[in-house]
Amino acid sequence: MKVVNHVLHAEGSERIIHSESPNRSGPMSPDTIIIHYTSGRDAESSVESLSDPNVKASAHVVIARDGRIFQLIPFNIIAWHAGQSSYRFADGTMREGFNRFSIGIEIDNAGILTKSGNVYSAWFGRTYEEKDVLKAIHRNERTPRFWHRFTETQIAAVEELCRLLIKEYNIKHILGHEEISPGRKVDPGPAFPLDKLRDRILKQDRKTNEGNLIINFPSNGVVTTNKLNIRSDPNELGEKIARPLLQGTRVRVLSEANGWYRVAVEIEGWVAGKYVGVDQV
């Protein structure tokens, strides 16, 4: 699976299905992924409703229970999945209106089920077997409810897609709809392993700031590795613009991008952030 021109492709497979939703706005540069469940009957019906101009909702992709991925909107175009939303990040910054900078992943799932005898029913009337049901307490609630389980294939597809998007875009955060619209939304809910997924795939990003989440730029830093390349851009492909910085070199850390710090010595350039100890607030 790869992204070409902001659209998914998988050679020689029918795993990616291209569809079109008119429910979109202008261009954006995503830095966040928002995870949802559809609360629907199946992926096809959710794709249909998320493409209905009267519904005024959409998402970039819908992931079916068998792992097929429907893409409705290119990743660099605003989709309408988050609605009224806000979140305070670990560094204290507050953001609102997540549609403007996030990719919305909808996962086909019936959502909250109600139990009657041995039967679990969704709001749209379909019933589910006990093996497909998880009884659990939602992170925003206090009493357990019944939740439709996701398939292993779906969870693997979400992880694969998130890893790909992190590589393609400057994705820094993965959040559940329930976290940016608490009280209003409960998706993806406790049946989705959101915290585990985040730990697994954002760990490397987090390592930079591990335990010390607040940096006020500019800040002072010191090189903590033998030799540290200083580059023209915040990635391994950036041109080396000077001799490597030596261990113990004091630097002025000006900003951060994707785990890289822009530092000033006699010259300015980008170094791998993990090799710079930065004064913390």
Contacts to Zn ion by CB under 5 A = 36, 177, 187
Contact 8, 16 (CB under 8 A): yes
Helix, strand, or coil (residue 127): strand
Output 108 or 187, the one with its CB closest to Zn ion.
187
Tokens (6 digits) for 60: 């970039």
Cα(224)–Cα(209) distance, rounded to whole angstroms?
15
Least separation in angstroms between CB 186 and Zn ion = 9
Least separation in angstroms between CB 94 and Zn ion = 20
Output 36 or 138, the one with its CB closest to Zn ion.
36
Output 187 or 256, the one with its CB closest to Zn ion.
187
| Residue whose structure tokens are 């993806």 | 188
Output 124 or 217, the one with its CB closest to Zn ion.
124
Helices (H), 143-278: 152-168, 177-180, 194-207
Least separation in angstroms between CB 55 and Zn ion = 13
Cα(220)–Cα(170) distance, rounded to whole angstroms?
25
Cα(220)–Cα(280) distance, rounded to whole angstroms?
9
Least separation in angstroms between CB 188 and Zn ion = 8
